[in-house]
Structure 1
C-alpha cells in the first residue's frame, strides 16, 4: 500500500508515511517529517538520496530504443488497472488524501474514476500526432533534409532528462505528466506536492506490477522535498543532470525555479492562470436561456471549488441590467450545487475579502447575491473587482459590448468560455492577440479535445531535444556565392 498511518513521538502528532518510487523500486522510510501546505498535516518520507534519482549521462535513456507504439500499449494497460474499485493503491490514497488535500473525498474519488480516460489509446495517439508532424523522429534518426548536392541531414527528437514539479490542486493530474514523460521517452523525476505525496507513487506501483523491469517503469522516479530547499536544488538543478524543469505551480514556486536556470537547462512553465466567461446579450432573451447560462457559468466556475486554472472568476456580460440581475440571482443558486468535481460547500472566503465586499456593497459600488460562506457569492459591478475571486465567488461585470472586455484579457488568461458560441468567431483573434490561450463554449471549460495545446504550447514539442546529424559529402561552393562573398570582403 502507498502508505500506512503511523504514530511518531516527534511533535506528539500522528503522521502519514509517504514512500518514494525511484527508478522502478519502492523506497520506504520515515526519516524526514514534512507538513502539507493546505491542511498543515504532517507526513513522513524516506531520506532522499540525490544520487539515486540522477541517471548518469553515460547511461542511455531506458526508453531510447522502445517504439512509441509499445509505450502506448503499456500506458493503455496501465489505464485499465487504474480502476478505483480494483486498485488497492488508489483506494489507500483516497484515505490518506483526506489528511493532506483540501478537495472533498467525493471529488477525489471522481477524479480517480476519470483517470483511466487520460490513458486511452485515442488520447495518447492524439498527443503524438498533434505534437509531431513526423512521429518517426521519436523512434530514431530520420533523414529529412537535403541541399541538392548530395548532402543530407537527419533529425531525432531525443529523450530529455526532466524534473516535473507536479501541481497540488489535482490528485489525478500526475497521470497526464507520467504519460507525457513516457511518450517522449524521457528520464523523469516527479517532485510530488505536499498536498498529495501519494498518488504518483500509487500509479508507478501499478505500472511496476504489470512489468517491474519495463523501460517505462525504470524511467520514472517520484520523490518529495520541500520546495526552496537550496542545498538540494542547487545540486539537482544542473544541466549535467537535467535538460528541462517542467513546473506546475504558483508564482513563488516558478520564481524559485527561475533562479536556477542557465545554459543547458530550460524551464517549461505551466504557471498560474485565471479564466473568465463572456456572455452576449442574445443569452438573456428568455427566462429559460438565463437559467441555462447560469448553469453553464456555475459549471465553469466551480471546478475544484474554483481552485483550478480553468475555473472562471470573472463574467463579462452585455445586456439590460434587470435581466443581468436575474442571471446573477440564478447563478448564486447554481454555485451551491454538488457537482462531479465540486462540492456544495467550499471553504469560506478569507475574512479580509468578505470585509472588502461588504464595504463595496455599503458604498453602492457593487450588488451582491449570496454570502462568502463557500456556498457561492455573485458580485455585480461595472468593472472587475481588485481582488482575486475564490471559494466559489463570481464577479459579473457589465460591459456595453463584449469587445470592450478584451482589454481585461492578458497573458495570464487561460480559458475563456463564450456564449452564445457563435460569438467566438468574432472574438477569438482579438482574445488571442490580448494574450488569451483557449476559447471554448460557456460550460465546457472542463472538456478538452485530445491532443490540443495547453497554455498556448504543445508541451511534448518543448520537452524533447531536437538533435541534428549532417552528412556532408560535397563541400563545393556555388561560384555565384563565392563571388558574392569575395565582393563583400573587399567592401
Structure 2
C-alpha cells in the first residue's frame, strides 16, 4: 500500500517567514527509523516547510493473524524498560532530544524557553512510581494485563483479562508532553501503536522512539511502535489505515474539527477514544481580598493557570469568577493583568499578540464602561476584561474574562460539560461546589495555580483512566479451569 506523493499549500503567516530549506522529518516503522524527503508539507502554526519519507502503509500496521511484539512480555519487564528509558531522555545527554528541540522551535509557537522546560520535564513521566501508579489505578490489578485472572461472580467461575489493543493515536502538538504521555501509557498496554504526528510537533515522539531503539532495537516495546506524518484528512491514508482489520480504536487529541473528522471512521469494530477540546475556569473566593499582599499572590496563582502553554492547553483558565462586587473584581483584574506579564514555567510574560477579532470586540467593550472594564493591552503581556456576564468570544492569547459573582456556587453555574479544570481559591472551599461542578460535567478540580500537572500517575484524564479505556476487556466463562479445581 503506497501513498501517492502529495504537497500541501503553504499557509499565510505574516508573523514569521518560514525557512527556505524544509526540515527533514523521520518516520519510525515498527521501531525502525526511516528517513527521506519524498513528500513536502508546510507546518500549521508557523508556515515552516518540512519533508517526510513516502508513507509505506504496509509498514504502519501489524497483521491481525500475528500477536503483537509485546503481547506476551511480562509487564514487569516493560516497566523496567520504561524506567531505563527515562534517564536516557534527559536533554543534556541525548543528541536526539537536542536535535528535536532545535527543530521544534521552528514549528511550535511555544518558543525555546517553554519547549526546553517541557523537554527537561519529560523524563519525569517515566519514573517508576509514576508508571506503577498509572497502571495500578487504571487496572486495579496489574496481573490483568499479564494473563487471565480467575474470579467468581454469583458462584460462577470465570477468567478476566485486559488484553493488548491495537491503537492509532492522533496526537496534538500544543505540548511535547502529549507525545511522552502517549508513549508511556501505550507501552503499558502491551499493544501495537501507530502515532500520527501533528505538524506542530513532528519531532518529540520520534526522538523518544528512536531512543528506545538505541537502548534495544529488538525489545518488544521498541517494535510495538510506529510514527508517521500525513496531512490530517488525507483519505488516501486514513481510509485505508482507519479500519478494524488493522486497529481496535482511534485515540484522538485535538480541537473540535479534528475529533469530528475522526468520528466518521468510528463504527463497529473501530472505537473512538477522544480527549475532547475543553475550556477551564477559576473560582476565587472573597478571602483573596484579605490584604493587598494576598490579592497579589492570588492573582499570580490565577495567572499561572491562564498561562498553561500560553493559554493553548485545555487546562488553561479563560474565565475567572470572583466572589465580590464590581470594585472587587476590578481590583483583582488589575493585579491579574500585571501578573500575566511575568514568565511561568510553561508560559511567557511576553506572549503572542491578541488576534484582531478579539481586539475589535474589546474595543467595542471599552466604549461601554462601567458595564465593562479592560485592563492590560493587546501586545501579548496580558489582557483582562471585567464584565457582568461571560463575553461572547473565546479568550485566547493570554486573554481572560473576569466576572463578579455573589458566591462560589453562583460561579459554579457557569461550568458545563466542556469545562475540564476548575482552579479554586481558597482550596478548602472546593467542598461547597465540587458536587455541583461534577454534575455540570467538570472533570478536574485543583487549588488555584495548580492546573498544570503531569496528568499521569493514577489521575483520571478527561473523565476516564486512559489505560483502562485503551484495553480490550475480555471475559472467558467456560467453567472452572482444571488447575483451579485441583
Residues 261-280 of structure 1: per-residue CA shift (max 9 Å, x gap): 11011011001100000011
- How far has the Cα of 1:449 moved from its partner? 7.0
Residues 172-204 of structure 1: per-residue CA shift (max 9 Å, x gap): 320110011100111000001001111111111
Q: How does 1:251-400 map to 2 (within 5 A)?
A: 251-364=256-369, 365-400=371-406
Residues 212-250 of structure 1: per-residue CA shift (max 9 Å, x gap): 100000000010100001121111111111001000011
Structure of higher CA gyration radius: 1
Q: Could you say which residue in structure 2 is the equivalent of 1:488?
A: none
Greater Cα offset, 79-88 or 362-371: 362-371
- How far has the Cα of 1:147 moved from its partner? 5.0
Distance in 2, matches of 1:422 and 1:449, equals 23
Q: Could you say which residue in structure 1 is the equivalent of 2:436?
A: 430
Q: Is the 8 A contact 1:284 1:319 kept in 2?
A: no
Q: Is the 8 A contact 1:192 1:223 kept in 2?
A: yes
- How far has the Cα of 1:371 moved from its partner? 0.5
Distance in 1, matches of 2:430 and 2:341, equals 28
Q: How does 1:85-484 map to 2 (within 5 A)?
A: 85-145=92-152, 148=155, 152-364=157-369, 365-447=371-453, 448=455, 450-472=457-479
5+ unaligned residues in a row in structure 1: which ranges?
1-9, 475-491
- How far has the Cα of 1:408 moved from its partner? 1.4
- How far has the Cα of 1:282 moved from its partner? 1.8
**Alignment counterpart, residue 55 of structure 1, candidates 52, 62, 70:** 62
**Closer, same or farther in 2 for the Cα pair 1:28/1:424, shift >3 Å?**
same
Scaled by the length of structure 2, what TM-score is found?
0.93
Scaled by the length of structure 1, what TM-score is found?
0.92
Residues 121-157 of structure 1: per-residue CA shift (max 9 Å, x gap): 0000001111112221100111112554xx5211111
What secondary structure is seen at the aligned counterpart in 2 of 1:306? coil
Q: Could you say which residue in structure 2 is the equivalent of 1:479?
A: none
**Closer, same or farther in 2 for the Cα pair 1:14/1:425, shift >3 Å?**
same
What secondary structure is seen at the aligned counterpart in 2 of 1:430? helix
Q: Could you say which residue in structure 2 is the equivalent of 1:19?
A: 26
Distance in 1, matches of 2:124 and 2:19, equals 42
What secondary structure is seen at the aligned counterpart in 1 of 2:22? strand
Residues 352-386 of structure 1: per-residue CA shift (max 9 Å, x gap): 11010010110223101111211101111111101
Q: Could you say which residue in structure 2 is the equivalent of 1:30?
A: 37
Count residues in correspondence.
463
What secondary structure is seen at the aligned counterpart in 1 of 2:427? coil
5+ unaligned residues in a row in structure 2: which ranges?
1-9, 11-17, 482-486
Distance in 1, matches of 2:376 and 2:432, equals 34
Question: Cα RMSD over matched residues?
Answer: 1.6
Distance in 2, matches of 1:404 and 1:370, equals 27
